[in-house]
Amino acid sequence: MINQGIFEKALANTISYILENPLIYFSESDIHSIVYTRLGQEIPSIINPIETSLTIGLNLKDKPSVKKYKTICIHREYGLNGFDYARSDIVIFDNKDVVKITDPINLKIGKTKNDYIKPQFVLEFGTEKSAGSASNFEEHLHSDIEKASSSKNYGYIIHIQRVYNRDNDLTKYKEFEIILNKYIISKNQNVKLLFFLVSIGSNSVKIFREGKVKMYKKENKSIIGINMNEYIENIMSELLSQEKIF
């Protein structure tokens, strides 16, 4: 099992990297790839192969070989129990569950459609391209919360919206703020939600130090500017503020 604090620090470092380099992605799939790669670099154990319960076949004595097939703990587009055709953007398995795998193709622990592993962590993402309007954003967010809730420990929803500040129109994000406030109250307690608004600079509008990146803050119930030198601290603080309350 991965330590939650270590995982969240690695996630915060990765998100900070994207916020500092907002043109690094073209699509949401690019973000998946960046997060997958950087999490593997920061937490090597999730990309180290672990034995499953599956033998590689019969040996020369016609007995099951003691050698087992291996897999890693991080995967993209993994299936979800109870969601036909739905897939998680990124999942992290508890290594103790990997050894229970009996399905070599779908990495499940049984033969039914709802025998997918319950991941330790689930990550869902969104961008201005996949959820550009307020209605699309709410629909996307609702779906992400349902999927992220399927985690064993925590599900994380990360939405990064870029806006070319030449257009200088952030009006619609007031609607986003209302939606975020609604869902932050009603969402499942094992889901944490991060929302960022990134202004892309132009030669016509000045960006102040706490204006380039704005972040939804549960405590403030609003999207506010954060200091460019404190992205990681702000992300960690927000994750802590959304910790389970028992």
What pLDDT is attached to residue 246?
41
Contacts of 3 (CB under 8 A, 6+ apart): none
- Counting other chains too, the contacts that 107-110 makes at CB distance below 8 Å and 24 or more residues apart are 107/71, 107/75, 107/78, 108/79
Give the helix ranges, DSSP H, for 132-221.
134-148, 173-186
What pLDDT is attached to residue 64?
81
Parallel, antiparallel, or unpaired for β 68-71 and 83-92?
A: unpaired
What pLDDT is attached to residue 87?
93
Contacts of 181 (CB under 8 A, 6+ apart): 221
pLDDT tens per residue across all 246 residues of the chain = 899 999 999 999 999 999 999 999 999 999 999 999 999 999 999 999 999 998 888 877 788 888 999 999 999 999 999 888 889 999 999 999 999 999 999 999 998 989 999 999 999 999 998 877 889 999 999 999 999 999 999 999 999 999 887 666 678 889 999 999 988 876 667 999 999 999 887 665 565 555 789 999 999 999 999 988 999 999 999 999 998 754
Tokens of 34: 């960046």
What pLDDT is attached to residue 172?
83
